[in-house]
Chain A
């Protein structure tokens, strides 16, 4: 079965890319093995203490925690993306695997389908 890697690389709220990536993960997980990678500004999507009420948008960061129920176990965050933004694993709402750029290259190689949002 073809495995999917979904890369989410934009900050939340400004555009709908982040939410769309999450929806894609939820949908694809019903059919194929899916991995999710937070890259670049995508790491802000799982930053703690988001408050989107003042812009009248739903904060979707709690929804990432549901991925385990959908059998999405491989959730990665780029170490360099975190570092460049002054973030650490402790700032995140989700238990994730922080990985090096070399591991990211490996993920790109080993997954049959790569979707970038």
Chain B
């Protein structure tokens, strides 16, 4: 396991350092084990960020998940189960994206 360069809160300093292995390490630091359900959301939020150059709000993320992954998964509850406490923040961190705004 090599060292990954993160800020004090655990977000990648250089977004281009991200890889699947890095995601696994970032998830471990959050005490999360990534499953297929996690990965599909990680890829979804990364695609969103690459396309629009901003992080979605929780509301917009839930809608994206609903549109792309189906109604069953397009609920706050599903995301809260995968990434407890603060889904947007934890998901952004593991997906190698900047800290979302308005998210303490």
Contacts and interface: CB of A to CB of B under 8 A. Distances in A.
Report whether chain A binds chain B.
yes
Interface of A: 26, 30, 58-60, 62-63, 65-66, 69-70
Interface of B: 51-54, 56-57, 59-60, 63-64
A93 to B, nearest CB: 12
A26 B56 CA distance: 10
A63 B55 CA distance: 10
Given A63-B53, A66-B51, 7 more contacts: A26-B54, A62-B53, A65-B51, A65-B52, A66-B54, A69-B56, A70-B60
11 contacts: A26-B54, A59-B53, A62-B51, A62-B52, A63-B52, A63-B54, A66-B51, A66-B54, A69-B56, A69-B64, A70-B60
> Top 6 nearest A-B pairs by Cβ distance?
A66-B52, A62-B53, A63-B53, A63-B54, A69-B60, A63-B52
Contacts of B57: 26, 30
Contacts of A70: 60
A58 B63 contact: no
B97 to A, nearest CB: 14
Contacts of A63: 52-54
Contacts of A59: 53
B53 A60 contact: yes
A58 B5 CA distance: 22
Contacts of A65: 51-52
